[in-house]
Amino acid sequence: MPEYQSLYRKYRSQTFADLVGQDASSRALQGAIISGRVAHAYLFSGSRGTGKTSAARLLAKSLNCTGRARDSAEPCNSCDSCREITAGSALDLIEIDAASNRGIDEIRDLREKVNLAPALGPFKVYIIDEAHMLTEPAFNALLKTLEEPPGHVVFVLCTTDAQKIPLTVIGRCQQFVFRRHSEEQIVSRLSYIASAEKVQVDPDAMRLIARTAQGSMRDAVGLLDQLVPLASGPISLDSARSLLGIADPRLLDGLLDDVLAGRAEQALAELNRVYAEGAELRQVVRGLMEGCRDRLVAALTKHDQATARRLSGVLDALLHLDGEVRRHAEPRFLVEATLARLAVESEATPHPAAAPPTSPPRGEVTAPAASPSRGEVQVVAPVGGWNEVLEKLNRTVRAVYLDAQPEVEGSVLVLWFKYGFHHKKAQEQSAQLIPHVRAWLGDEVKIDFRLRENDAAKSVPRPASPEDDPFVREIVRRFDGRVTRVKEVSE
């Protein structure tokens, strides 16, 4: 019997045409290969499971392929070099996993061997996976090689966290950003795999997998891989749900109703039912978040500020819970406690117009504490425009800013955050926000991301400019360099 090969491996892209999405990176790489203008070092950054390692191997394959047509970048996949690379035995392709022992020995080894000629093809390709995990000495050693790379060597650094790569290294690489896959791209890939594997998958089940994978093609293919051997017949939405531990959204909708209406006891009973049916807690929390977000968007569209505030508070708590559930030893109690608290809070504020009970202190713009409309006055002006900005963002980015409370001070838009996590994410994603804010408040507008006092103590204040960042300063000092270019990173 042939050994079972996971779908994830079996369907790794072996041609550029088979690499889903990533059109800009793919086109640029192919152009460089065809014209023979391949850089000495590349940095493939971006979301996990989106094809960075696959693309790096493809590049290696094309460069050493002996059967490649001159006017195409596609490897032949049948010459010795291609076959060795597919099998993982090629001597001219060296893959270093920086995560395993932080790359110290490998980089030392690399420095010794990098000047040796390639074994078979014209190029020796080094793929450094999880490059952000390299230690400082390893980066320093790598940098020396990057400064004077032998002509036959191509480096590909792959990372999900480009911000952790020293600027001096980034400066020597040509960078490509790999984007998250859309649900459509994932569904279409899964359909292709399912038909090649001759398994029947209900389109709704496929969409559920795509949504669960959150933009990662690897996760999507991995989930399908779990389903195929478990399901005896065609994979239906229900079987996908139960196998993936995802609760029926109708049950979750009822649960959310209970929480928002302040029915704590029913909420707990409902949660237990969902749990007993085999749903995983993380998926439950995620499902609640999705439901909450949909309702929030609906409230914002209707300009129902009071409901929107309440929902935004609940969503906030759920986002926080989502992070905690992963770490906690007793996640079930944690979920119960949070839902009960939210329900009790809802009960305590039955009037939808009432300010949320967790309304934080408002920094310097203090209003008399007894004022019933406390806080409301400050945000009324920007809220309409801010809601429009929110609606223009895509779902994932929007989630980051839902927690923000906007205030306009002259030509500055101040966004207040309750959680350090959101505060950080919001700044990371600001490239997506800025154009919409400019369209609203003009090109001169500046955005000031602020953290509420109670959390502020824990976080380091944001430096005025990237050059003032202590990390950047240290790099500049250590390498006796200077900052020549500041690039906004969106992922």
Rule CB under 6 A: which residues touch ligand ATP?
8, 11-13, 19-22, 48-54, 158, 160, 178, 189, 217-218, 221
Give the nearest residue (CB) to ligand ATP.
51
Choosing from 67, 234, 435, 466, the residue that interacts with Zn ion (CB under 5 A) is 67
Q: How far is the CB of 64 from Zn ion (least distance, A)?
A: 8
Q: Is 76 in the site for Zn ion (CB under 5 A)?
A: yes
**With respect to ligand ATP, which residue has the nearer C-beta, 20 or 299?**
20
**With respect to ligand ATP, which residue has the nearer C-beta, 48 or 450?**
48
**With respect to Mg ion, which residue has the nearer C-beta, 131 or 227?**
131
331 binds, among ligand ATP, Zn ion, Mg ion, none (CB under 5 to 8 A by kind): none
**Distance (Å, whole) CA 350 – CA 352:** 6
Tokens of 97: 């996993």
- Indicate if the alpha-carbon torsion angle 463, 465, 466, 467 is positive or negative: negative
260 binds, among Mg ion, ligand ATP, Zn ion, none (CB under 5 to 8 A by kind): none
**With respect to ligand ATP, which residue has the nearer C-beta, 127 or 339?**
127
Give me the torsion for CA of 438, 179, 207, 11, rounded to 10°: 170
**Distance (Å, whole) CA 192 – CA 19:** 13
Among 410, 406, 349, 346, residue whose Cα is nearest residue 382: 406
Q: How far is the CB of 410 from ligand ATP (least distance, A)?
A: 42
Q: How far is the CB of 57 from Mg ion (least distance, A)?
A: 10
Choosing from 55, 79, 217, 244, the residue that interacts with Zn ion (CB under 5 A) is 79
Secondary structure (DSSP) of 64-84:
H-SS--TT-----S-SHHHHH
13 binds, among Mg ion, ligand ATP, Zn ion, none (CB under 5 to 8 A by kind): ligand ATP
Among 125, 146, 217, residue whose Cα is nearest residue 178: 217
DSSP, collapsed to helix, strand or coil, labels residue 197 as helix
Q: Is 481 in the site for Zn ion (CB under 5 A)?
A: no
For 12-28, letters b (16+ CB in 10 Å) and e give bbbebeebbbbeebbee
Q: How far is the CB of 10 from ligand ATP (least distance, A)?
A: 8
76 binds, among Mg ion, Zn ion, ligand ATP, none (CB under 5 to 8 A by kind): Zn ion
Q: Is 122 in the site for Zn ion (CB under 5 A)?
A: no
Query: Which residues would be at the binding site for Mg ion (CB under 5 A)?
Result: 52-53
212 binds, among Mg ion, ligand ATP, Zn ion, none (CB under 5 to 8 A by kind): none
Q: Is 125 in the site for Zn ion (CB under 5 A)?
A: no
**With respect to Mg ion, which residue has the nearer C-beta, 16 or 386?**
16
Q: Are the CB atoms for 67 and 79 separated by under 8 Å?
A: yes
**Distance (Å, whole) CA 187 – CA 211:** 9
Q: Where are the alpha helices (DSSP H) in 349-447?
A: 376-392, 395-401, 420-428, 430-441
Give the nearest residue (CB) to Mg ion.
53
**With respect to Mg ion, which residue has the nearer C-beta, 52 or 241?**
52
**With respect to ligand ATP, which residue has the nearer C-beta, 221 or 289?**
221
Among 158, 163, 174, 167, residue whose Cα is nearest residue 126: 158
Q: How far is the CB of 117 from Zn ion (least distance, A)?
A: 20
Which listed range, 63-71, 200-208, 343-351, 441-449, lies at the site for Zn ion (CB under 5 A)? 63-71
378 binds, among Mg ion, ligand ATP, Zn ion, none (CB under 5 to 8 A by kind): none
Q: Within 13 Å of residue 449, how many CA atoms lie on the same side as its CB?
A: 23
Choosing from 56, 60, 63, 65, the residue that interacts with Zn ion (CB under 5 A) is 65
DSSP, collapsed to helix, strand or coil, labels residue 178 as strand
Rule CB under 5 A: which of 304-363 touch Zn ion?
none
Q: How far is the CB of 80 from Zn ion (least distance, A)?
A: 8
> How far is the CA of 184 from the CAs of 27, 137, 218, in angstroms?
21, 43, 15
156 binds, among Mg ion, ligand ATP, Zn ion, none (CB under 5 to 8 A by kind): none
Q: How far is the CB of 44 from ligand ATP (least distance, A)?
A: 8
**Distance (Å, whole) CA 447 – CA 426:** 11
Q: Are the CB atoms for 237 and 204 separated by under 8 Å?
A: yes
Q: Is 82 in the site for Zn ion (CB under 5 A)?
A: yes
**With respect to ligand ATP, which residue has the nearer C-beta, 156 or 318?**
156
Strands 412-417 and 405-409 turn out to be antiparallel
**With respect to Zn ion, which residue has the nearer C-beta, 82 or 206?**
82
Among 62, 77, 76, residue whose Cα is nearest residue 26: 62
Tokens of 446: 């500046």
Q: Are the CB atoms for 273 and 306 separated by under 8 Å?
A: no
CA-only gyration radius of the chain, Å: 26
Neighbours of 147 (CB within 10 A): 9
Q: How far is the CB of 81 from Zn ion (least distance, A)?
A: 6
82 binds, among ligand ATP, Mg ion, Zn ion, none (CB under 5 to 8 A by kind): Zn ion
**Type of residue found at 133:** M
| Residues contributing to the site for Zn ion (CB under 5 A) | 65, 67, 75-76, 79, 82
